[in-house]
Structure 1
Amino acid sequence: MFFPRLLALLPLLYFAFTFLDAQLPKHYIFDPAKLQELSQGAIANNPDGNVTNIFSDLVDGLRETYGEKHVNLVRDEDWFFNNAGGAMGSMVILHASLTEYLILFGTPLGTEGHSGLHLAHDYFTILSGKQQRLDAGDHYPRTYLPGDMNHLPRGMTSQYQLNGWALELAQGWIPTMLAFGFLDTLTSTLDFPNLWKTVKLTGENMVGQLLIGKI
């Protein structure tokens, strides 16, 4: 009796998901084009390529544009490692809510891996160094340099290589992406203190945004 009832619920679940999915963009506050513009401005203000100063100028611009309540300051103690899809880098959360996250991510040492398959669009604006991307069937990689934006539509996957830093925006069902960021800890790194920091900071940001009405 259980499985027939479950099958009968599937159409209802599908239409419920479709309806809720169509509502997601109403809750977005970040504009990918504006983020790229702010990133390019911060890069232009620092022609020597000083990443620390680029971060500072960019975060100032983001907080001025979107409000201090939606964009965190960057503190040294808030950085942590991220291992996902075989790639490793350092990141800091600028914003995390149920429908969006905005982070600084990268490594000057170089890394490469799988993008993961997600129910969210991903916008990756290069701040320093370069990123290369290879989709299945490509014979040559696409190359993204400082100021360029790499958009990975939801439901698509790619191989990527990054040597530098980027501003990353994800928009969609953000909670469904978290397992991708956690599983490497359980299967390889066993860096549980870093996992705890990841969960703690992500949770604090999401709850904080909910409390001010940002889904």
Structure 2
Amino acid sequence: MRFDPLNFGRAIVYITIIFSVLDRYVLPKFHVFDPVKLQEICNESIELYGDDSPNYNRTLLFNDLAARLQKEYPKHVSEVKWDEWVFNNAGNAMGGMVLLHASISEYLIIFGTPVGTEGHTGIHMAHDYFTILTGRQDFYYAGDVEKRVFLPGDQNHMRRGDKAQYALNGFALELAQGCIPCMLPFGFLEAMTSTLDYQSLSYTVWVTARHMTKSLLQGKL
């Protein structure tokens, strides 16, 4: 079958229009997570087990956070499954992540690294709320002359379409709200083109699909 550039271009336009309509008018109706509430819950756990607490312990911090999130969103948040942590490479940054929720319109993960990483945020059809749990994030928009610093308890909100450089040494709770399938190529591409870590990629696809299927069965996009 001969490749037809005109029909291919039309298909891209139609797909873009469909996703834009979904992103603007349909998917927001299915959002269940409140970024302000998430930041409040994070600070409760940080106060108990964060960097400056007398009981500092990252394992207890993440477990406590997940338990509080489950209490607030009992149908939508999973516990921290320590055997489901997986490497992720995106925008030249590398870290570990564990999935707490995934659906067509939202994902909620704990992401980070204790050794430090740096890269490009990517450009996404989603709002991203990055609440620092431990360590720090240094952040830079083109045109800034000073870096922006986010410490435990701070929440960095990137609006859809924004792009920036960041460095992270620590962990954060990340909420994305928008067209989540449109974000997946950014998270998967480097595994196919540079790291060749197909084990992490396949496991990420499996866990994400499992969470999305669960959400769909609950009637949540």
Per the TM alignment, residue 19 of structure 1 is displaced from its structure 2 partner at its CA by 3.7
With structure 1 as the length reference, what TM-score do the two structures score?
A: 0.92
Per the TM alignment, residue 212 of structure 1 is displaced from its structure 2 partner at its CA by 1.1
Larger deviation, residues 122-131 vs 185-194 = 185-194
5+ residue gaps, structure 1 = none
Q: Which residue number corresponds to residue 37 of structure 2? A: 34
> What secondary structure sits across from 1:45 in the alignment?
helix
- Alignment pair present for 1:153 and 2:159: yes
> What secondary structure sits across from 2:194 in the alignment?
helix
Q: Which residue number corresponds to residue 47 of structure 2? A: 44
Per the TM alignment, residue 72 of structure 1 is displaced from its structure 2 partner at its CA by 0.8
What percent of counterpart residues are identical? 52
Per the TM alignment, residue 59 of structure 1 is displaced from its structure 2 partner at its CA by 0.6
Per the TM alignment, residue 139 of structure 1 is displaced from its structure 2 partner at its CA by 1.3
Change beyond 3 A, Cα 1:14–1:209: closer
- Alignment pair present for 1:80 and 2:86: yes
> What secondary structure sits across from 2:29 in the alignment?
helix
5+ residue gaps, structure 2 = none
- Alignment pair present for 1:60 and 2:63: no
Which ranges of 4 or more aligned residues in structure 1 deviate by more than 3 Å? 1-7, 12-19
Aligned Cα root-mean-square deviation (Å)? 2.1
Does the Cα contact within 8 Å between 2:91 and 2:186 map onto a contact in 1? yes
Task: String of CA shifts for 1:82-119, please: whole Å, max 9, x gaps.
Answer: 00000000000000000000000000100000000100
Per the TM alignment, residue 3 of structure 1 is displaced from its structure 2 partner at its CA by 3.7
CA distance in 2, matches of 1:185, 1:200: 15
With structure 2 as the length reference, what TM-score do the two structures score?
A: 0.90
Change beyond 3 A, Cα 1:2–1:89: closer
- Alignment pair present for 1:24 and 2:27: yes
- Alignment pair present for 1:181 and 2:192: no
Per the TM alignment, residue 57 of structure 1 is displaced from its structure 2 partner at its CA by 1.2
